[in-house]
A = this chain, B = another copy of it.
Amino acid sequence: MSLTRDDLKALDKADPLAKFADEFHLPDGMIYLDGNSLGAMPKAAKARALEVIEQEWGEDLIKSWNKAGWFELVEKLGNKTAKLLGANDGEVIYADATGLNVYKLVAAALDLRKDKKKIVMEGSNFPTNNYMVQGLIKQLDRGHEITFAEDGEIMDAITDDVAVVCLTHVHYKTGHLHDMAAITKKAHDVGALVVWDLCHSAGALPVDLNGCNVDFALGCTYKYLNGGPGSQSFMFVAKRHQGVAMQPLTGWWGHDLPFGFERDYRPRKDIRQFSTGTEPIVSLAMSEVGLDIFLRADMNEIRKKSLKLCDLYIQLIEERLDGYDFEIVTPREHDKRGSQVSISSKNGFPIMQAVIDAGVIGDFRAPDIMRFGFTPLYVSYVNVWDAVERLVQIMETNAWDKPEFKQVGTVT
C-alpha cells in the first residue's frame, strides 16, 4: 500500500525531535533540504551575535579577550564538539577554515611518517581537500604522491607504502558513508595514519573517533552544525599524537607562551598547537549556538530520523516518479550513507532550478547530481511528502523545461 501525506503527519506527531524545529528560523513555506550545504539559522544566533557585538566588542572592547573568554573560545567550542564526535576534552579545537586544517593535519601526519611517501585520497571528493594536499606535496617537493582511489578501491589502495589516508567520511556528492573503523584499522595495520574529514558527518550521524582509534580529523560547522555562513572549522588530534605531531602553520596562538612575545617559536604540547592566530570572533561565537542545540538532542535519535527521512524520500521518489530519468546514487544500505539523497538526472540542472523555484531548496553538483540534504532537527516527515509532491508536479507539467532555469551558484 502506498504512503499518504497523513502517514507522514503521524510520524511527525510521534517524532521526539519535532520540538527542535522551533529553535530554527526558516522562511515561510520553504522546504529546506540544503542544510548539508548551509545549515539553517538557530533563532538564538541573533541574540548571541548581538551580545558579542554590542556588549563584548562595543562596551568591553579589548577586555573581552579575557572577560568574555574570546581567547579560550576555540577550546571551549572544541570541547563541546568533542561530545558529538566520540572525542575527549582537549582533543578538539576550532581554527581557520576546512582546507587549511586539511593542510595542517596531513602535514603533521606526513611528518610522523617520514619514511613513506604515499597518500590515499578519493579523487571524486570535494576538491579542496585534494587541492590542499596537492599544494602541500608540491611545496614539500620530497617525492610524495597521492593515490586516488574511489569507493570499493580504497581498502586495496592502503598498502605498506602508504603514509597517510585522508578521506571524507560522507561523500559530498553521492552521500556515500565510508566505514571509518575498517579503513582506520587497515591504515594502522600497514603503519599509516588517518585524517578524516567530517564535513558531511559531524551533526549528521554519530561519530566515534576514539572508538575507531582515529588519529586526526576535521570538519566544518556551517552545514549540519548550523554555525552560520563560513563559520570556522574544527580539528581533532588524538591525545597520543599531541606534543608529538606538529603542524607547520606555526602562529602565535600555537606558541607555548603566546603573550610572552618571544622571538622564536616554541610549540605548545597540546591541541592548541594546531591553532594559528586570531580568529573572527563574531562568527566563531555564533557557532556555539548551534552546538548547544545538538548537546540537548540525542545523536542516535538524529540518526534514526535521518535514515527514516531519507528512506521515505527514496520510497516516494520511486513510487511516484517511476519512469522518469532519475537514478538514486546514494546507497540504500543504512550503514553506507550519510544524511542526504542524491539523484542523477541528465536534466538535473534545470530540474533543480525548477524545484528551488517551487520553494524546495536543494542544490546541484556537476555534471548531473541533484542533492537533497535531510537535517532531522528542522526537517519534518511532511516536508518529505511535500518536496516529492512539488517535484512530481514539476515533472508532470514539464515545468523545468524553461530557459530561465539555467544558472545557479552553489557552495558546498
Binding site for B on A (CB under 8 A): 25, 27, 30, 32, 34, 37-38, 40-41, 45-46, 49-50, 52-54, 56-59, 61-66, 70-71, 96-100, 103, 107, 123-124, 126-128, 130-132, 134-136, 138-140, 148, 173, 220, 222, 228-232, 248-252, 254-255, 259-265, 276-284, 286, 361, 363, 365-366, 408-411
Pairwise interchain contact A135-B264, C-beta atoms closer than 8 A: no
Q: Give the CA-CA distance A284 to B66 in the complex, in Å.
A: 23
If A132-B251, A139-B248, A230-B280 are given as contacts, then 14 extra A-B residue pairs at C-beta distance below 8 Å, sorted by A number, are: A41-B58, A49-B53, A66-B408, A98-B278, A99-B252, A100-B249, A126-B252, A126-B261, A130-B264, A131-B250, A131-B254, A230-B282, A278-B411, A282-B283
A100-B98 CB under 8 A given contacts A37-B62, A263-B123: no
How far does the Cβ of A66 sit from chain B's closest Cβ, in whole Å? Answer: 4
Pairwise interchain contact B250-A132, C-beta atoms closer than 8 A: yes
Pairwise interchain contact B124-A263, C-beta atoms closer than 8 A: yes
Q: Give the CA-CA distance A130 to B265 in the complex, in Å.
A: 8
The residue from B30, B66, B281 contacting A229, defined by CB atoms under 8 A apart: B281
A282-B97 CB under 8 A given contacts A34-B62, A65-B410, A148-B263: no
The residue from B96, B248, B259 contacting A409, defined by CB atoms under 8 A apart: B259
Pairwise interchain contact B127-A281, C-beta atoms closer than 8 A: no
Pairwise interchain contact B41-A276, C-beta atoms closer than 8 A: no
Q: Give the CA-CA distance A235 to B38 in the complex, in Å.
A: 27
Pairwise interchain contact A278-B222, C-beta atoms closer than 8 A: yes
A366-B61 CB under 8 A given contacts A41-B53, A99-B277: no
A282-B229 CB under 8 A given contacts A41-B57, A248-B138: yes
